[in-house]
Amino acid sequence: MPQSTTKETPFSLVYGTNVMILIEIHESSPRFQNFVAEESDDGRKVNLDLLDEVCEQTHIKLEALKKRFELRQNTKVRPWQFQVADLVMWKAHPYQLENKLSPKWTGPFRIVEVLGNSAYRLETLEGGPIPRTWNAANLKFYFS
């Protein structure tokens, strides 16, 4: 079956031609009845000559598809920019959740240092340091 992304069958990308399945031979399909060996050999040689171009076009289609998926995914990403002294909450770890009704976010905490590349150092509101850094993907603003 032709793949939806490449519009080619994996067999045709490897061997340069489409495969004839056994049911077409046993049931005498029009494709099998109209088979001429000389024309088939000529067509196979042409397909093999064009195989590199077909593979290159398929590669271009796949790269375009990856780019479209990437753009679609990146529209959902909202980068957070936190500043020093902002109040934030962090996403609770699964071991911190007692049951399914437990709060999913822990906090509030204060940002002490912006380390760049979406990394932040936090402290409690009483001033106690938190020993590790946090990525912006695990933080959200705390609104009091």
Does the pLDDT of residue 80 top 90, yes or no?
Answer: no
Q: Which residue has the higher pLDDT, 1 or 57?
A: 57
Residue 92 shares a structural domain with residue 68: no
Residue 51 shares a structural domain with residue 103: no
Q: What is the residue-averaged pLDDT of the chain?
A: 83
Confidence of residue 25 (pLDDT cuts 50, 70, 90): low
Domain annotation covers residue 131: yes
Total tally of structural domains belonging to the chain: 2
Read off the pLDDT of residues 106-144 as tens digits, 9 standing for 90 and up: 889 999 999 987 899 999 999 999 989 988 888 999 987
Concatenated DSSP letters for 29-91?
-HHHHT--HHHHHHHHHHHHHHHHHHHHHHHHHHHHHHHHHHHHHHTT-------TT-EEEEE
Mean pLDDT in residue range 44-73: 86
* CA–CA gap between residue 62 and residue 128 (Å, rounded): 51
Q: Which residues constitute the domain of residue 104?
A: 87-141
CATH number at residue 118: 2.30.30.140
pLDDT at 24: 67
Does the pLDDT of residue 44 top 80, yes or no?
Answer: no
Do residues 132 and 93 lie in contact, with contact meaning Cβ atoms separated by under 8 Å?
Answer: no
Residue 66 shares a structural domain with residue 97: no
Query: What is the pTM assigned to this prediction?
Result: 0.48
pLDDT at 125: 93
Which residues have CB under 8 Å from 92's CB, separation 6+? 102, 103, 104, 105, 106
Residue 110 shares a structural domain with residue 131: yes
Domain annotation covers residue 82: no
Count other C-beta atoms under 10 Å from residue 91's C-beta: 15
Residue 41 shares a structural domain with residue 63: yes
